[in-house]
Structure 1
Amino acid sequence: MLLWMRQRRSNQISHLPHKLTSLLSVAFISSNCSNISTEDKIGINSIVRIINDHPFPDQPLHPTLRQYIPLNVLSNTFVENVLGRLFAAHSNGLKALEFFKFFLHDSQFCPSADAFEKTLHILARMRYFDKAWELMEEIRRRHPSLLTLKSMSIMLSKIAKFQSFEDTLDAFLRMENDIFVGRKFDTDEFNVLLKAFCTQRQMKEARSVFLKMHSRFPPNTKTMNILLLGFKEAGDVTAVELLYHEMVQRGFKPNSITYNIRIDAYCKKGCFGDALRLLEEMEQVNCFPTLETITTLIHGAGIVRNKIKAQQLFEEITLRNLHPDTGAYNALMSSLVRSKDVNSAVALMNEMEEKNFEHDSMTYHIIFLGLMRSKGIEGVCELYHKMVERNFVPQTRTVVMLLKIFCENSRLDLGLNLWNYLIKNGYCPHGHALDLLVTGLCSRGRVHEAFDCSKQVLERGRHISEAVSRMLERSLLETGEMDKLSTLHQMMKKLQDVLPPSKGHAVCISASTDLK
């Protein structure tokens, strides 16, 4: 049975439409343009689907890529877009690595720093640190110019998140001595190390590194801003202000980034009056507010439910010779939703479309949240169908929110519809999304569909959680579906042999289960 399913899956890949290769050729050739055309998107979607649907780890991916991607028309832009989609789709990191290496080894061109950084980010996010280090070593040998501060930042930030303080310092030294060979580490590299701790809100560690190493790496304004950002993210307004005064005493000149961080710190604490005071202070010292400054204040007005001030600040954007963007619209929308004026928020979303401002995942998330609170499931469903018609794929937290809404309102049909929509678009939904959907399906006796969704995740090279594993085990035993239970067990075991599970992932179905 398993052999038949693998063969069937392989046949589905090998019998893709013949026009795919020619379509990809058009897409690759035209992908040097900054704006992605419809044909480009189709080509990107096709490759992402092929990669995600490829049976892992049963067959190597490289021969399939060679079959469907014409090497003579590969471009960096297209590779970057595919890797970006794989990142957003939570694809298996080893598949993304194989795709990047296909370009690295088979193409006549040097990959871009952006493509390398995206691949590194996918690996580090999934904690494949050994593979990430191997990739950095290979890039050091073949294309050392691709080793940038950004790639260093990606690696150090994930090590700081998932490993120990000592591991992060060791990684910094390894980069200095073994990876970025010939590069003299100075303040810029020191700032990257500090940022790794600050973005994870590890301010005790950040302080320790600063005190230990600032004599070797003289700090600059950016160094102080990074520390300010860390304290702001940790919610410590007092520490932000103390460090700001220390910064001034040390002779550093605050810039717009400095003020933006302080303003955001006060806004997040609901101290909107203090944030406005800082805006006045900025103008008095001829540090001109940026679009980010005003957008932050619009968010702040929303936190204190002052939609009139939020609207006023939004109108000030053009008066200050600045140009609003999607982020500014989202900030005003959020303020309206927080003030329970969902109708105005929806009208603003429509205005964005009329003025050709692109809706992003945050736009949809804000409006879904407002509709859920004001109009309930019906309002959410209406916008959901519009989103699908526009072929927009939201980010993970919006997917999780929608699945939670659908399951709680007994709309499992929509939950499955969203799941299938993501799979069709080449996404491997996040583990939290699977947890919600499987819980909803199993609680209503729809075990077969819960099994299918879990199998799709395993087929794409992603582990399922321990909670999902136990729930499926219990439900399949109750319904006597021993063949499905055996299939699930074998898939989990095979994936585990290639890809050790992280904390919270299921190792395998209980050994006590009778699989005979």
Structure 2
Amino acid sequence: MPNLLPPPRAAQRLLAPTVPHLARLLLTHAPAIPPLLTAILPSSPSLLTPLLSHLLLSHSPPLPALSLFRRLLELPHFPVPESSLPVLLRLLARSRRYAHHSFQLLESLPSTHPHLLSVPALSVVLSTALCASAPGASFAAAVSRFESAAAVWARAGRSFGAAELNALLRVFCARGRVAEARALFHRYCDAYPPDTRTFNTLLLGFKEAGHAQALDLFYHDAVLRGFVPDAVSYCVRMDAYCKKGRFLDALQLLDEMRKRENCKPTLQVFTTLIYGAGIVRDAARARLLFDEMEQCGVTPDRGAHNALMGAYVRARDLQSGMALMSEMEQKGFGLDDVTYNTMLCGFQRAGDLEGIWKIYSKMIGSGFMPRTRTTMLLMKVFCENGRPDLGLELWDYLIGKGCVPHRHALDVLVTGLCCRDVVGEAYRCFRELVEMGMAPTERAFRVLEGFLKKKREFGKIDEIRQMMKATQLEEHQAEEEAA
């Protein structure tokens, strides 16, 4: 296959104190809190949630974020945004070393910041308890955490009811543990009377577990008991059918919805059906459903456009996908990681490197920060096609954005650079990942060590060995604390 990728472009650097700049500032000064952050955030509290979200998406270590959040909690008049706590809890939950801080942080809030006690925060805490416990004890751990949370909410004077019960059920359903979710429903339904969302949550659990027949049985049983389905109920069933390839059955539900009063098809319903049409590679039907939305008074959003784009890509109609991407920009929706990843996957399957380059150029030209899956896709394409220089450019672009690339991206990049005899840059990337608080994999270390030996760079070999020892020691300490 000919190499159609153009030469690399210079990496872009952010000079203004934007969110990526603040994230990089926080990470490079850890464990200390840079004075610039404590000067900017009190006057711009709305920056806190985007900053924490940036750290979460970039796989940053949790300690700097936790230290910053605690510092801000100590400020007497700083209005901590409610949306910031769930993001921080997710960041903590991803680390075995700091996962246990989640509920401790939640318990310390009522006296000073009771408004931070929210359903999203509870969901993260319950999910953490479920994942951090042994399989046999996880049910009891989640129940214990739920009942402790009820006491915390009560001390803070916050209501605790159906919404919080739904959070508990959702945690189990999201992991396919629907039988336990049903048991919890029967256990707490008297104390916390369920609502329509409760039943929809259980329906969603059956759907996520792939039990379409059990979903139908539960649905019809609930209807007999007085449950009145809404658009969400239909949407869950449609999605279950679509994922089983039963697209025509999903379309029949659309006709059933139209016959019911006060149950009009919603944006989510149409998006689900468009996605289902893509699964069966019926791009024409997907386009008809997309056009039908506006006739029903429903305005397509970016998600609906992405679903239609996915249908085009599955049908190998990349030209229509690119046209839809331009249409999205003209309408002002903007492009997200789903958009970029969908088109990149399509061009990758087609072996079209030029198409991949066009999408990549558009992405970095707009200053967009890709998520891990898109970063990995691009890194593999560049390095496997003999262009690790483009992988290095992508690496520098992410670092310049204050993003910590995933360590598996370093594996691919180090291998690609060393095979092209660019060992010095591979060493720099290895060191940068360590400096940002992440531990490289053994694979990246062994590859880099082997090529440094060939170049007789013994000083650098000693340095990366010391780096690995330090990161392995931290991981060992984390395992001991978790035990």
Give yes or no for the alignment of 1:209 onto 2:203: no
Task: Name the residue aligned to 2:149.
Answer: 175
**How far is the alpha carbon of 1:46 from its aligned partner?**
2.1
Cα distance change of structure 1 residues 114 and 306 upon mapping to structure 2, 3 Å threshold:
same
- Structure 2: distance between partners of 1:257 and 1:235: 18
Count of residues in Structure 1 that have an aligned counterpart in Structure 2: 460
- Structure 2: distance between partners of 1:428 and 1:398: 14
- Structure 2: distance between partners of 1:106 and 1:441: 47
Task: Name the residue aligned to 2:66.
Answer: 97
Pick which of 165-174 and 439-448 moved more: 439-448
- Structure 2: distance between partners of 1:96 and 1:402: 28
**How far is the alpha carbon of 1:497 from its aligned partner?**
5.2
Partner residue of 1:312 out of 278, 283, 288 = 288
Partner residue of 1:155 out of 125, 129, 134 = 125
Cα distance change of structure 1 residues 276 and 452 upon mapping to structure 2, 3 Å threshold:
same
- Structure 1: distance between partners of 2:185 and 2:295: 41
**How far is the alpha carbon of 1:233 from its aligned partner?**
1.4
**How far is the alpha carbon of 1:450 from its aligned partner?**
2.9
**How far is the alpha carbon of 1:184 from its aligned partner?**
5.9
- Structure 2: distance between partners of 1:501 and 1:316: 58
**How far is the alpha carbon of 1:446 from its aligned partner?**
4.1
Contact persistence 1:140–1:180 (CA under 8 A): no
Runs of 5+ consecutive residues of structure 1 not aligned to the other structure? 1-15, 24-41, 504-516
Q: TM-score, normalised by structure 2?
A: 0.88
Give yes or no for the alignment of 1:333 onto 2:309: yes
Letter paired with 1:169: V
Partner residue of 2:164 out of 181, 189, 198 = 189
- Structure 1: distance between partners of 2:39 and 2:65: 18
Contact persistence 1:282–1:288 (CA under 8 A): yes
- Structure 2: distance between partners of 1:443 and 1:180: 61
- Structure 2: distance between partners of 1:443 and 1:86: 32
Letter paired with 2:427: F
Cα distance change of structure 1 residues 359 and 476 upon mapping to structure 2, 3 Å threshold:
same
Contact persistence 2:306–2:339 (CA under 8 A): yes
Task: Name the residue aligned to 2:234.
Answer: 259
**How far is the alpha carbon of 1:108 from its aligned partner?**
2.4
Partner residue of 1:417 out of 385, 393, 397 = 393
Task: Name the residue aligned to 1:43.
Answer: 18
Cα distance change of structure 1 residues 343 and 353 upon mapping to structure 2, 3 Å threshold:
same
SS in 1 for 2:109: helix
Task: Name the residue aligned to 1:370.
Answer: 346
Task: Name the residue aligned to 1:349.
Answer: 325
Partner residue of 2:113 out of 135, 143, 150 = 143
Letter paired with 1:266: Y
Task: Name the residue aligned to 1:13.
Answer: none
Quick one: percent identity of the two aligned structures? 40
Partner residue of 1:223 out of 198, 207, 210 = 198
- Structure 2: distance between partners of 1:294 and 1:281: 14
- Structure 2: distance between partners of 1:498 and 1:407: 31
Cα distance change of structure 1 residues 443 and 501 upon mapping to structure 2, 3 Å threshold:
farther
Cα distance change of structure 1 residues 420 and 71 upon mapping to structure 2, 3 Å threshold:
closer
Task: Name the residue aligned to 1:464.
Answer: 440
SS in 2 for 1:174: helix
Cα distance change of structure 1 residues 180 and 122 upon mapping to structure 2, 3 Å threshold:
farther
Letter paired with 2:64: K
Partner residue of 1:130 out of 90, 100, 104 = 100
Give yes or no for the alignment of 1:293 onto 2:269: yes
Task: Name the residue aligned to 2:84.
Answer: 115
Cα distance change of structure 1 residues 134 and 215 upon mapping to structure 2, 3 Å threshold:
closer
Give yes or no for the alignment of 1:449 onto 2:425: yes
Letter paired with 1:82: L
Task: Name the residue aligned to 1:76.
Answer: 45
Pick which of 99-108 and 490-499 moved more: 490-499
Partner residue of 1:322 out of 279, 291, 298 = 298
**How far is the alpha carbon of 1:91 from its aligned partner?**
1.6
**How far is the alpha carbon of 1:161 from its aligned partner?**
3.3
Pick which of 477-486 and 364-373 moved more: 477-486
Partner residue of 1:238 out of 207, 213, 218 = 213
- Structure 1: distance between partners of 2:239 and 2:382: 34
Pick which of 270-279 and 215-224 moved more: 215-224
> What is the root-mean-square deviation in Å for CA atoms of aligned residues?
2.5
- Structure 1: distance between partners of 2:438 and 2:153: 30
Higher relative contact order (CA 8 A, sep 6+): 2
**How far is the alpha carbon of 1:313 from its aligned partner?**
0.5
**How far is the alpha carbon of 1:204 from its aligned partner?**
4.0
**How far is the alpha carbon of 1:133 from its aligned partner?**
2.8
**How far is the alpha carbon of 1:71 from its aligned partner?**
5.4
Runs of 5+ consecutive residues of structure 2 not aligned to the other structure? 1-12
- Structure 2: distance between partners of 1:438 and 1:501: 27
